[in-house]
Amino acid sequence: MGMMMKAVILLLVVFSLISSISLAGYSFTQVQSKELGGINICEANNVQLNFPIRIYSNSTQDGKVVEVYGQCPWATKNNAIRVVIGIVGFLLSCVLGIMVVKGKTGRSIVLAVLLLGLGAAGIYSAIIDGMNLKDSDSFCETAGNCTTKPFIITILLDVLNAVLLAVSAIVLIRFRKNIHHHHHHEDEVIPGSVDEKIETTPLVGNDHSASNAI
């Protein structure tokens, strides 16, 4: 039971590592605005847009028609929260995996609580992003070739990462005793084992030396 739960938690930790770094990396691609044909699409009627959108257009390059796009990024606060959650989640998951392997459940619980809080922050971040994306959808209804799909992917990554962090923490807290006991038993000398025989075998040389001394 202990070995199986240890493997399950480590598998969750691996998934958390992947989702955390993916969230941070994908968020970095949506940090800056991108002009479309030299036009800043983030300014509509002299009003700065505070929500993410991406507008596509066809352009001719080297005699070929290619699709290009302009982009308005997320609000700085939204991106900052997401990137921090991704980076911190990755680092804490690394440390958590090491602690589980070593059977240091006392310290693992502290990390699990931190990951649980980070997961809650991720859900909050996804909700805020979702509310922000409603404005994007409203704008795209009137604008041509406008899409919010890349930003929907960001929210889905945020939710997935939050769930994985929270589940990893909950499973560890629930089954921490199994992990600790499994690690403890690995360090014990099994009756009848080679280690026990070595420890209990009398040293003949020592007895002979003692008799000579007498």
pLDDT averaged over 10-residue windows placed end to end, the chain, 214 residues: 76 94 94 78 70 80 72 90 96 88 74 91 96 89 84 96 93 73 46 48 49 48
User: For residue 96, what pLDDT is reported?
Assistant: 85
Q: Cα–Cα distance between 52 and 29 in angstroms, integer? A: 12
User: For residue 105, what pLDDT is reported?
Assistant: 65
Q: Cα–Cα distance between 7 and 209 in angstroms, integer? A: 51
DSSP-derived letter for residue 34 is B
User: For residue 41, what pLDDT is reported?
Assistant: 73
Contact in structure between 93 and 164 (CB atoms under 8 Å): no
Q: Cα–Cα distance between 95 and 36 in angstroms, integer? A: 43
DSSP result, 143-178: STTEE-HHHHHHHHHHHHHHHHHHHHHHHHHHTHHH
Q: Cα–Cα distance between 141 and 6 in angstroms, integer? A: 49
CB neighbour class for 191 (10 Å; exposed up to 12, middle 13-18, buried from 19): exposed
User: For residue 35, what pLDDT is reported?
Assistant: 78
Tell me the three state secondary structure of residue 41. Answer: coil
Closest CA to 42 of 81, 80, 76: 76
Contact in structure between 130 and 155 (CB atoms under 8 Å): yes
User: For residue 202, what pLDDT is reported?
Assistant: 53
Q: With helix as H, strand as E and coil as C, how does 103-126 read? A: CCHHHHHHHHHHHHHHHHHHHHHH
User: For residue 214, what pLDDT is reported?
Assistant: 46
Q: What is the pTM of this model?
A: 0.75
Contact in structure between 36 and 70 (CB atoms under 8 Å): yes
User: For residue 163, what pLDDT is reported?
Assistant: 96
Q: Which two tokens stand for residue 41?
A: 């699409």
